[in-house]
Structure 1
Amino acid sequence: MLAATVMLGEHGRRRAGLGDEFWQYRPAHQGDSARMIDWRRSARSDSHFVREREWQAAQSVTLWVDPARSMGFTGDKSRAPKADRAKLLALALAVLLLRGGERVGIAGMAQPRSGRAQMLRLAARLSGDAAVEEYGAPVTDGMVSHGRAVFLSDFLGDLTAVEAGLGRASDRGVRGALIQVLDPAEEEFPFDGRTIFESMGGTLRYETQKAGDLRTRYLAKLAERKDRLSSLARAVGWHFTTHHTGHPAQSALLWAYAALQGGR
């Protein structure tokens, strides 16, 4: 399994508190009681030091995996569709987080919970059929205030829906990451000559005799979309990246895990 190939330490849940394990020494502050002073450590310097113990606070992480028709695209039969890669990344990330003691859920489908049984629930929820919509809009139902979230999508639909979803999450104090999952064909636009472009749901169709003439404009529009997504994410303290289905999934998994740590 993908998560088993990634060797990671404990997720960054450590804070000073009333735990049992030693965490760090810090200089004593005004208001610290004498019983908090570590006199043995303080004897080695001219200052007083407090011995802090660790408090581990499990956080809630909500995943949204775009179920729209557009995610079913693949530019090559040897590559899995975008939806399969997004689900793989979501499940692998959930495994890592659950192993670290976090609570993980799926927006609008499964409330964040911890434990092995939750992994089975998440896998079952993600195994459903594609939605009827051509392009997805982020769902924020079930997000826990001041928790974390990850949105996985191609983000090729209306970006006002993405902006609205980020706004709702931000209003709850939720930080997280956007992972744009694209097929290499969508990134490179390797089309030329007579080509018929049709959406996965069949509602959009465009035919051209000179597809190659569209490449420059298409790539410029795609770059603009990525810049817009990056700006929307930064505006609310989120992270953004693009992952291609032709690349190994491990790199995106590591990025997502690190992004959640950085969002604390």
Structure 2
Amino acid sequence: MNEFSLHTPDTLRSRSEAVAASLPALLADAQHLSASVLLGVHGRKRAGTGDEFWQYRPAEAGDSYRAIDWRRSARSDGHFLRQTEWQAAQAVMIGVDDAASMTYSGAKTRPSKLRRAQTLAMALAVIAVRGGERVGLTHLAEPPRSGQAQLMRMAAALMDGEDRPEYGAPKPQMMPNGARAVFFSDFLGEPEAIETVLGRAADRGVKGALVMVLDPDEEAFPFDGRTLFESMSGAIRFETLKAKSLREDYLERLAARKDALRMMARRTGWQFHVHHTDGPAEPALLWLYQVLERQ
């Protein structure tokens, strides 16, 4: 198989399908899956577009006057809205960091961080579509959709490389209220941007997961002696004669970054996970399924 064929949307989707297919227990559990993502007669006791009454809630700024239940409001000093059970397919929004740093791989025998993130993203989209959900990419202004055609659109968009910054950060254009979201990145850029995005997501009732994708060399720092460190774009270069002497400080900073991401996620009701490219993709996909199922 040549290098070009590895980078086509069709092959990316095929690899993603293979990852999803390797979880037969997950996909065979149709009833459990439908309880969290499919249309249901009994709903999920979440506000939405169903017909069955669930609860009243106080009116908030921005609510339409037409949505106010005037009969219920007449019995109190405030205005109240009538909410129904959640019965519509939910949206899963996926973001993949395609910055230059994500193209790194410490060995030819393992995929780059970007390729692994793309594969996990498409596998998650495949599972969501099979469960009747709508899926979309956060960096596009297009609304989430269901169906096989949407999977092809997403695969093509993920492979559509543009000018890449050195390090990336989530910049969601589409984040429907109450959606679930997943961001794949090495999160080695400025953490303030991530914190801002999570805060905005929380304001919209969006919960999800941060998946930090790292190459094992970035965890172990197996460098010694004279070493030239160069960023993937070539814009940053640093040479040292004693690379091993940097290891302790580097590992401390990496641990601090993980702790900061974990705390950001916890404060906004999100989950945090670290995935390494030398390991199989299935455990990360299973973890994501379980996290999104509970949200």
- Which bin holds the TM-score, normalised by the shorter protein? 0.7 to 0.9
Q: Secondary structure of 2:264's partner?
A: helix
* 1:161 aligned partner: 193
Q: Secondary structure of 1:111's partner?
A: coil
The alignment status of 1:58 with 2:89, answered yes or no, reads yes
- Structure 2 distance, partners of 1:19, 1:189, is 53
Structure with the larger strand share? 1
- Structure 2 distance, partners of 1:211, 1:55, is 56
Equivalent residue for 1:2, pick from 16, 19, 42: 19
* 2:6 aligned partner: none
* 2:64 aligned partner: none
The alignment status of 1:147 with 2:179, answered yes or no, reads yes
- Structure 1 distance, partners of 2:42, 2:115, is 42
Compute the displacement of 1:131 (Å).
3.6
Matches within 5 A, 1:1-264: 1-7=18-24, 8=26, 9-10=29-30, 11=33, 13-14=35-36, 19=41, 56-109=87-140, 110-129=142-161, 131-263=163-295
1:157-200 deviations in whole A, cap 9, x for unaligned? Answer: 10001111111111111000000000000010000000011111
Q: Secondary structure of 1:206's partner?
A: strand
1:50-100 deviations in whole A, cap 9, x for unaligned? Answer: xxxx97531101000001000000001111110000000000000001100
- Structure 2 distance, partners of 1:71, 1:255, is 21
- Structure 2 distance, partners of 1:6, 1:176, is 21
- Structure 2 distance, partners of 1:18, 1:219, is 48
Q: Is the 8 A contact 2:169 2:193 kept in 1?
A: yes
Structure with the larger helix share? 2
1:104-136 deviations in whole A, cap 9, x for unaligned? Answer: 000122421111111111111111115420011
Runs of 4+ aligned residues of structure 1 deviating over 6 Å after TM superposition are none
Q: Secondary structure of 2:229's partner?
A: strand
Q: Is the 8 A contact 1:67 1:131 kept in 2?
A: no
Q: Secondary structure of 2:143's partner?
A: strand
Moved more, 145-154 or 130-139: 130-139
The one-letter code sitting in structure 1 at the alignment partner of 2:169 is: A
Unaligned runs of 5+ in 1: 22-53
Larger Rg: 1
Q: Secondary structure of 1:173's partner?
A: coil
Give the alignment's TM-score, normalised by structure 1.
0.83
Give the alignment's TM-score, normalised by structure 2.
0.74
Compute the displacement of 1:12 (Å).
5.6
The one-letter code sitting in structure 2 at the alignment partner of 1:119 is: L
- Structure 2 distance, partners of 1:4, 1:189, is 34
The one-letter code sitting in structure 2 at the alignment partner of 1:72 is: T
- Structure 1 distance, partners of 2:164, 2:139, is 16
Change in Cα spacing, 1:55 to 1:148, as seen in structure 2 (3 Å) is: closer
Change in Cα spacing, 1:197 to 1:146, as seen in structure 2 (3 Å) is: same
